[in-house]
């Protein structure tokens, strides 16, 4: 139909749709174009006669007539009418039915909605152009992907900057390791002079290998990345040359904090602070570390010896043990303890039981001497019997005087109360002292057994017991 309209010379150019957009799908229309079409077609239209599918039919030239021409039934059109914008709903459902811009243009022309064609032509053509452009880009990308050499990758190229992190790596062709990383500020002339002296004393005279930023690093690399890698993987120690200028350097601040994070609490003694002059302020995170103070001129030789010894001191498993270390004696001791035959344990309260039993044996005699037995007479009156043993009470029972059951129970309860009296404070103190002595004896037996089985000094056995209890 679009071709027939193009061939008609009486049609105005504004009413003609370019033929290349005839089969462009309706999904090419953006929201702005749909809203503009809705502004025209949502309003109530007029009844017109259209020639559609070989016959004339009457339709209303609004959204309802457009929906009938597009093939929607009555129920669907009534559902569209209930929406806020029936035209917008129509275009949305029509898009799902593979509607095209050419069909939309033809039906609007048949319904004699030339006002819609003229006013909406520009945004519709612009949307079609953009859609075709994006479609062409997608086709070009797919064709390029098919024609691309499979050996060429589009992934990001990664460069290992740590392979050549120092000047020594380039000169020797392999990784260079250093005894110490010198953290210093190049902005202070006095610091530079002291650094030259340190290089002469440690490298020339004592044979150590130092990494000095500005001398051994390579330009063009990521400064903080390479510095962190060298401190962590290539240098055994970090010597910090502190001064007032040093505290104002951001690079030095990064180096010190990174090295401190690798060895919190100075567990591996990686940081070695150095002071070249008196009254130098010390950062808070370094105040707990022992210093190399060169401010005392009469002790300079000693300080150089201390510094060089601290740099070459062993590090790692020789100074502390990690759980995964093979030579960790504490891990081995846990297994060796399983084969030890410990002495038979004795209860610490045995002395307490013996003392209580012995006291219980003495109590009846003492209590019987102090007990008061009541013997009722014929008239129900009681007579006190003092200082009589328990057997005397039985002799009294054989007398003509009769005893009631209640009197017998009272005498029995009183004798039990007298027998179960609590020990005195002196007895308790003596009993606790005996328990402590038994505890010391058992502990000494355990230590001697461990010492003889493990064949280790006394201090190591004590540490072994401590770590076994703590774990």
pLDDT for 453 equals 64
Q: What is the CA radius of gyration of the chain?
A: 52
pLDDT for 451 equals 66
Q: Which of 378, 402, 422 is the C-terminal boundary of a domain?
A: 422
C-alpha pair distances (Å), 150 with each of 154, 218, 253 = 10, 36, 48
Domain for residue 190, yes or no? Answer: yes
Whether 140 and 10 map to the same domain: the answer is yes
pTM equals: 0.39
Whether 88 and 199 map to the same domain: the answer is no
pLDDT for 387 equals 43
CATH of the domain at 249: 3.40.50.10140
CA pair distance 388, 410, nearest whole angstrom: 17
pLDDT for 37 equals 92
pLDDT for 467 equals 62
CATH of the domain at 67: 1.10.533.10
pLDDT beneath 70, residues of the chain: 1-11, 146-159, 263-268, 316-426, 428-430, 432-433, 436, 450-459, 461, 463-464, 466-471
Domain for residue 238, yes or no? Answer: yes
Domain for residue 355, yes or no? Answer: no
Whether 81 and 179 map to the same domain: the answer is no
Domain for residue 125, yes or no? Answer: yes
pLDDT for 286 equals 83
How many domains, the chain? 3
CA pair distance 371, 415, nearest whole angstrom: 8
Domain extent at residue 202 = 167-312
Query: 215-223 contacts: CB < 8 A, separation 24 or more?
Result: 215/167, 216/166, 216/167, 216/168, 216/178, 217/165, 217/166, 217/167, 218/164, 218/165, 218/166, 218/167, 218/170, 221/161, 221/165, 222/161, 223/251
């Amino acid at each position: 139909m679009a071709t027939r309209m193009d061939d008609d010379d009486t049609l105005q150019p504004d009413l003609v749709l370019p033929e290349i957009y005839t089969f462009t799908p309706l999904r090419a229309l953006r929201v702005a174009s749909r809203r503009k079409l809705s502004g025209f077609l949502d309003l109530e239209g007029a009844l017109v006669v259209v020639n559609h599918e070989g016959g004339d039919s009457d339709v209303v030239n609004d959204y309802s007539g457009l929906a009938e021409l597009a093939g929607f039934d009555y129920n669907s059109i009534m559902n569209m009418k209930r929406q806020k914008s029936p035209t917008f709903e129509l275009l949305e459902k029509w898009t799902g039915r593979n509607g095209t811009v050419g069909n939309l243009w033809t039906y609007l022309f048949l319904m004699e909605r030339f006002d819609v064609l003229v006013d909406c032509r520009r945004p519709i053509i612009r949307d079609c152009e953009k859609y075709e452009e994006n479609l062409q880009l997608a086709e070009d990308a797919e064709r390029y992907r098919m024609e691309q050499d499979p050996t060429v990758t589009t992934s990001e190229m990664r460069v290992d900057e740590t392979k050549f992190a120092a000047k020594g790596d380039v000169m020797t062709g392999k990784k260079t390791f250093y005894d110490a990383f010198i953290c210093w500020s190049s902005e202070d002339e006095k610091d530079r002079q002291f650094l030259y002296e340190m290089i002469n004393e440690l490298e020339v005279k004592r044979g150590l290998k130092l990494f000095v930023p500005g001398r051994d690093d390579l330009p063009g690399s990521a400064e903080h990345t390479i510095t962190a890698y060298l401190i962590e993987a290539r240098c055994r120690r970090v010597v910090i040359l502190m001064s007032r200028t040093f505290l104002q350097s951001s690079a030095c601040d990064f180096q010190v904090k990174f090295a401190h994070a690798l060895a919190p609490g100075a567990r591996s003694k990686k940081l070695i602070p150095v002071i070249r002059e008196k009254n130098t302020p010390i950062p808070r995170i370094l105040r707990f570390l022992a210093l190399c103070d060169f401010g005392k001129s009469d002790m300079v030789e000693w300080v150089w010896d201390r510094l060089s010894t601290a740099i070459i001191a062993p590090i790692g498993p020789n100074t502390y043990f990690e759980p995964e270390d093979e030579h960790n004696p504490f891990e081995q001791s846990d297994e060796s303890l399983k084969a030890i035959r410990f002495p038979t344990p004795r209860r610490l309260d045995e002395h307490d039981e013996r003392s209580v039993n012995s006291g219980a044996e003495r109590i009846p005699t003492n209590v019987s001497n102090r007990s008061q037995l009541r013997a009722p007479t014929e008239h129900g009156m009681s007579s006190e019997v003092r200082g009589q043993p328990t057997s005397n009470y039985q002799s009294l029972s054989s007398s003509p005087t009769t005893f009631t059951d209640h009197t017998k129970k009272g005498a029995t309860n009183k004798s039990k109360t007298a027998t179960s009296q609590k020990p005195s404070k002196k007895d308790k103190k003596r009993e606790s002292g005996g328990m402590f002595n038994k505890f010391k004896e058992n502990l000494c037996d355990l230590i001697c057994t461990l010492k003889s089985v493990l064949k280790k000094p006394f201090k190591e056995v004590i540490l072994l017991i401590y770590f076994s209890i703590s774990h």
